[in-house]
Structure 1
Amino acid sequence: MNGLLANAVLIYTLLSCGALLIAFFNYRAQPRRYVVVGFWAICAHIVYKLMWLALIDGQQYEMPIPLGLIYPVLLYLFAHAHYRSAEVASPMRLALLFLPFSLHVVLFAVASMQPVASGWAMGYSTCYYGACLLSLLTYAILIVRLYSRADGPSTATDILIRQLTVLCFGLAILTYVMLYEILVGTSSIGFEARPMVYFFLAIGFALVLKYWWTEGAGKAVDDEKLAAASGEQKQADLPTPKLPRALEQHIIDVVERELIQSKLFLNPDVSLDMLSQHTAIPRHQLTQVFNRHYQKAFYQFIAAARIEYSLVRISEMGDTMTLDSLSYECGFNSKTSFNRYFKAYTGMTPSEYRAFCGQMLCVLQ
């Protein structure tokens, strides 16, 4: 590559790759940081392609940007943090995982500064696609092993991990085709494989956006319920006619049977209206019972019941169930809401409580 194109592509690649590495090692919101860095890597990859489309003269060979080596590593770390949340990767291990990517950034820089006829570009591309093929297959298989051993119902995070793993296998096939074309010099599939890579990246981009939207919507639903609970608590402060003792006891028995014993409180869509229809008890009478007998608004009562259930599940399952899966099993729409309610109820985060239970078990044994 020569001139303006070579300088622009090289500077952009070094800046974007360096920024991604800095963001990864400094952004501490695990495990979401892996998805965030992967999302921005896709954006950087697409911009790189747009630069070539805008500046290329149709004759120069487009060297692949080394971002292809970062995707399987990020996905593996995301899956590992989800399914093995008790195991925290050390900075040294993270540095080793990103070593191939860092080395290829250096190779990309060296190859970009060489004349086209020198063969550096083709040599770098051969090395890069070979490393990508090995990396995609290795990490995809490791991820499959992780989620195949997981217990509990599938959550939004489980679904995203499996969808992105399928994309990894698809990218591995495309990478093999591009490596074959470089080594043999001809294409045997009848179409260009490289544009398909960007199609797969666009799918990954859309899946991550959908995941964030789903998580955000789940958090909004739980926040709306919390606001409704606060509103109901304020209404409870107003004077209301007291129910007859026999009727109040009857409603308490029905609530215990239909809401607690049947575990209706684990339904993420449970509401006061649903309970009223299910028990044929007027909504205002249920509200009075929750406020006067349980000293809680309906959604506060539901949250407390779910947290009590989660405490039992943690003592039963230990590290064999991920906290993400547990949050959905307990009826919460997002892990964020589960963590917030759990800490407000127990004074500890779910991770801290699980670690505490593990320590107590070791002491007792």
Structure 2
Amino acid sequence: MEGLFVSVTLVYTLLSCGLLLAAFFNFRSQPNRYLIVGFWAVCLHIVYKLIWVGWGNPSQYEIPLPFGLMYPVLLYLFARAYYRPEIAGSYRQLMFLSLPFFLHLVLFVAACLQPTESGWIAGYAKIYYVSCMLSLLTFSTLTAKMYTNSKKPSTPTDILIRQLTMMCFGLVLLGYMVLYQVSVPDDDVGFEVRPMVYLFLALGFGLMIRYIITLGIPIFHGFNEGEAVLSKAGGEPNSTVQPSVVAEWAVVIEQELIRTQLYLNPSVSLDMLAQEAAIPRHQLTQVFNGYYKKSFYQFIAAMRIEYAVRRISELGDKVTLDSLSYECGFNSKTSFNRYFKAYTGMTPSEYRTARQSITNQTLSIPQ
């Protein structure tokens, strides 16, 4: 009976890993894909624990699921996508970071295939807990270094990353206590430590749920461009976001556009801004349409024209209008002239002439 139960847990683990890989590639264009994969990993991990509690033999040692090696890596990748969006992770790098998990998955399978009395499960557990502590300590330190050096304003994403990082440091201590109990079963620390690990897991799960609900992140469907599910009535994303959160996003959007000067990029898109600001693409659309009352490209055009006005004021005749139109990110002078006149009421040449006239009159006034 024990062998049958171990076989069931093995099949469950392999199916879970397959589902997580499918989720990872389904959400490959989502800025929050690492969080989504982590969310589903925690769900599967908690179900695994419930299976052991409900049907496992109390005298049999629980085989630790190797998902513990995924969490610090996913948190690090999620934080890097937020704090260092200019760094694009290659598949080779992702495979390198995932190597400890896959190695322990092989060890997990090997332990499940051995007789329960062989001692393989206990040996695997010791190796697993040591590896988890090293992984948690390494990637939590790297993540903490990123948000310590970050100049970004505090956002829900930033707060979530800090909270989860602190929990990872706490899990390092719990991991040491679990390892001690596994290695020295005769010594009693006063309580069973492993339930505390699952308590931390549940707390982290709760923090992720709150973040996902607040930002309206889609977690049940994969989309080619990270689009949300459209409601049947109006075709808008079917999620409600508090006005205070939308206002906060607006601040982050403006700061990121100014910091990166992304609006000057001729190929700028909502996906690029979503990656920089760590805000879902469909939520960006809600901010522009609901908060600014403009489309994304109208907002970008206004920022480009404001930039052009500053450049004309600074340089005057030293810059040609042709070169300025491309410097601002427009693909043609015609588009530049049309947006400039709509924004200022004058063409670029008329504005420069009027600006120079005002400057000359100011200089000619006797002091």
TM over 0.5: yes
- Quote the residue 2:296 is aligned against: 342
Partner Cα distance (1:210, 1:203) in 2: 11
- Quote the residue 2:9 is aligned against: 9
Using the size of structure 2 for normalisation, the TM-score is: 0.64
Matched, 1:123 2:77: no
Describe the superposition over 1:178-203 as per-residue Cα deviations: whole angstroms up to 9, x where unpaired: 11112222445311111011111111
Displacement after TM superposition at 1:31 (Å)? 2.6
- Quote the residue 2:40 is aligned against: 40
In the alignment of these two chains, the number of paired residues is: 265
Partner Cα distance (1:308, 1:185) in 2: 57
Q: 1:148 to 1:4 in 2, by over 3 A?
A: same
Displacement after TM superposition at 1:323 (Å)? 6.3
- Quote the residue 2:56 is aligned against: 56
- Quote the residue 2:228 is aligned against: none
Partner Cα distance (1:146, 1:73) in 2: 14
Describe the superposition over 1:205-244 as per-residue Cα deviations: whole angstroms up to 9, x where unpaired: 1101111122139xxxxxxxxx9xxxxxxxxxxxxxxxxx
Q: 1:307 to 1:86 in 2, by over 3 A?
A: closer
- Whether contact under 8 Å (1:82, 1:324) holds in the other structure is no
Matched, 1:142 2:142: yes
Displacement after TM superposition at 1:7 (Å)? 1.6
Q: 1:51 to 1:268 in 2, by over 3 A?
A: closer
- Whether contact under 8 Å (1:140, 1:168) holds in the other structure is yes
CA-based RMSD of the aligned residues comes to 3.7
- Quote the residue 1:157 is aligned against: 157
Q: 1:110 to 1:306 in 2, by over 3 A?
A: closer
Partner Cα distance (1:208, 1:115) in 2: 38
- Whether contact under 8 Å (2:20, 2:41) holds in the other structure is yes
- Quote the residue 1:113 is aligned against: 113
Written as runs of structure 1 = structure 2, the 5 A alignment for 1:190-229 is 190-216=190-216
Written as runs of structure 1 = structure 2, the 5 A alignment for 1:243-258 is none
Partner Cα distance (2:4, 2:35) in 1: 33
Structure 1 residues without counterparts, runs of 5 or longer: 218-226, 228-265, 271-302, 349-358
Displacement after TM superposition at 1:312 (Å)? 4.2
Displacement after TM superposition at 1:339 (Å)? 7.4
Q: 1:49 to 1:164 in 2, by over 3 A?
A: same
- Quote the residue 2:363 is aligned against: none
- Tell which deviates more after alignment, 170-179 or 182-191: 182-191
- Quote the residue 1:176 is aligned against: 176
Displacement after TM superposition at 1:152 (Å)? 3.2
Describe the superposition over 1:218-274 as per-residue Cα deviations: whole angstroms up to 9, x where unpaired: xxxxxxxxx9xxxxxxxxxxxxxxxxxxxxxxxxxxxxxxxxxxxxxx99669xxxx
Partner Cα distance (2:252, 2:168) in 1: 37
SS in 2 for 1:28: coil
Displacement after TM superposition at 1:106 (Å)? 1.1
SS in 1 for 2:29: coil
- Quote the residue 2:338 is aligned against: none
- Whether contact under 8 Å (1:137, 1:168) holds in the other structure is yes
SS in 2 for 1:98: helix
- Quote the residue 2:67 is aligned against: 67
- Whether contact under 8 Å (1:34, 1:74) holds in the other structure is yes
What residue identity is the alignment partner of 2:177?
A: V
Partner Cα distance (1:308, 1:190) in 2: 53
Using the size of structure 1 for normalisation, the TM-score is: 0.64
Partner Cα distance (2:152, 2:113) in 1: 52
Give aligned-pair identity as a percent.
49
- Whether contact under 8 Å (2:171, 2:197) holds in the other structure is yes
Partner Cα distance (2:72, 2:252) in 1: 36
Partner Cα distance (1:145, 1:111) in 2: 36
- Quote the residue 1:258 is aligned against: none
- Quote the residue 1:355 is aligned against: none
- Quote the residue 2:97 is aligned against: 97
- Tell which deviates more after alignment, 139-148 or 112-121: 112-121
Partner Cα distance (1:267, 1:146) in 2: 24
Q: 1:343 to 1:162 in 2, by over 3 A?
A: farther
- Quote the residue 2:237 is aligned against: none
Displacement after TM superposition at 1:337 (Å)? 4.2
- Whether contact under 8 Å (2:3, 2:115) holds in the other structure is no
Q: 1:344 to 1:183 in 2, by over 3 A?
A: farther
What residue identity is the alignment partner of 1:118?
A: S
Partner Cα distance (1:347, 1:35) in 2: 32
- Whether contact under 8 Å (1:307, 1:345) holds in the other structure is no
- Whether contact under 8 Å (1:327, 1:334) holds in the other structure is no
Partner Cα distance (1:37, 1:346) in 2: 32
- Quote the residue 1:189 is aligned against: 189
Partner Cα distance (2:124, 2:170) in 1: 22
Displacement after TM superposition at 1:314 (Å)? 3.6
- Whether contact under 8 Å (2:80, 2:146) holds in the other structure is yes
